[in-house]
Amino acid sequence: MLTDKEISNLKPREKAYRVADGGGLFVEVRPDGKKYWRQAYRFAGKQKMLAHGVYPTVSAKAARAKRDDAKALLDQGIDPGQQRKVEKLTKELASALTFEAVAREWHSSRSAKLSDKTNHKTIVALEQHVFPHLGVLPIADIEAAHIAVVVKKLDTAGKGETARRVRSWIDAVFRYAILHGKARANPAAAIRCRDLGLGDANEKHFASLAIADLPAFLRAVDDPAKPVDYRTRLALQLLLLTFVRPGELAWAKWNEFNVDAREWRIPPERVEGKGRGMKMREEHVVPLSDQALAALEQLRPLTGRGEFLFPCIGDPTRGMSDNTLRQAVQRGLGFPVTAHGMRATATSALLELGWPAHIIDKQLAHRERRGATFGAYSHQAEYLPERRQMMEAWGRHLQALKTGAKITPIRSKAA
């Protein structure tokens, strides 16, 4: 056997040469001076070679241990070179089947069916809350207890809704993995939110403004003493006058508005940035009242030369943040409600004033009515004449509330 001193003293030559160590193991000295451990062996009548690393990174003791392991496999009738290839492929396959790898594949497979906003929120939540804990684990090795820790941690941090969604997404990843032969069982299926003390996943409702508070709210929007930017005030006016979703208004573009036709056509999707279009990717028509058109004309000198009605401050290539409207309502105007809740306020007020539910439904971009909650989404231009009439009446109604005029129920003839 070679000593470390003997190996260290081996000098490079013009051509590579070998120095035996024993038992088929030898040192191969290259012209560049590097020294490689190699082992010669025969299997099935064929001469073969096995690499054991580079000296001194791999010491003589470690190289001999590898030689002995290879001989033990040969004694069992196993080709050590082939065994090494199998082990390498197994490791590569295990790496490709980590939870994160499969989860990203699942996310990509569903991205075409969902909005950019939904896709973005899903992958960000997984990256923040799941991958740091489960990402590097082979998906086949994950147990229910692993998932429970992730979900419970979110709930303890006061993120109950996120915890429920994360559990649901993990469950979906495992179902995808089983379908594509990447896992045999779904440990997430054994976990129920109530078992973890999360309670039932109730439907999410947005805090809405009471009908009785509408006059005060409208006057607050016009109150110069309130710390709200002028453009944001106009955004809040348009939000009430059109009762679209805040994200749809925040990313509204000037080319979507036709003043002559008195309408705003929200496209099914806005590709640039992460602009929000309609949830079901169908165009939605919003009739514009005199009051809405007046708000647009006030806004046009401020942002009319750009792309967006309400560009993000500091980045005119993007629409304003949804959070801007929420902060304006809650901190600026002092009302403990959400911008999204304005849709519920308009709905309640219009129903109280006598407008039929199916007309309101269509203007809200809803498809059907389920009990007391408006259901799935649709954006077709059904009942458009009646909706134009309703939106005109709604604009006049809000104007009257702001000035303190006596209100008479609308009692639409379109019922």
Say if residue 315's pLDDT is above 90: no
Q: Identify the H or E element spanning 344.
A: helix 342-352
Residue 293: closest CA among 252, 267, 264? 264
Quick one: pLDDT at residue 90? 65
* Window from 75-89, 339-353, 362-376 with minimum mean pLDDT: 362-376
Give the CATH superfamily of 4-81.
Answer: Integrase, DNA-binding domain (3.30.160.390)
Domain extents in the chain? 4-81, 99-196, 211-403
**Spatial distance between the Cα atoms of 240 and 222, rounded to a whole number of angstroms:** 13
Rounded Cα distance between 25 and 63, Å, is 8
Per-residue pLDDT of 138-192, as tens digits, reads 888 899 989 999 988 888 887 878 888 899 999 999 999 999 888 889 998 888 7
The answer to whether residue 356 scores a pLDDT higher than 50 is: yes
pLDDT value of position 407: 58
**pLDDT of 222 above 60:** yes
**263: which strand partners?**
258, 287
Higher confidence at residue 270 or residue 83? 83
Q: Mean pLDDT check: name the lowest of 61-65, 161-165, 361-365, 410-414.
A: 410-414
Q: Is the pLDDT of residue 316 over 50?
A: yes
Nearest Cα residue to 170 out of 195, 184, 141, 191: 191
Rounded alpha-carbon distances, angstroms, from residue 22 to 1, 48, 60: 6, 16, 11
Nearest-5° Cα angle at 169, 167 to 170 = 65
Q: In the numeric block, which tokens belong to residue 204?
A: 């999410």
CA separation for the pair 102, 90 (Å, rounded): 16
Out of 105-114, 293-302, 306-315, which region has the weakest mean confidence (pLDDT)?
A: 105-114
* DSSP secondary structure, 136-158, as one string: TSBGGG--HHHHHHHHHHHHHTT
Higher pLDDT, 42 or 158: 42
For the domain covering 211-403, report its CATH number: 1.10.443.10
Residue 375: pLDDT above 60?
A: no
Highest mean pLDDT among 19-33, 107-121, 201-215: 19-33
Instruction: Give me the residue label for tokens 């304005």.
Output: 342
One-letter amino acid for residue 398 of the chain:
L
**99-196: CATH superfamily:** Tyrosine recombinase, N-terminal domain (1.10.150.130)
Name the residues annotated as catalytic. 245, 274, 340, 343, 366, 377
- Predicted confidence band of residue 373 (pLDDT cuts 50, 70, 90): very low
| Stretch among 235-239, 273-277, 354-358 having the lowest mean pLDDT | 273-277
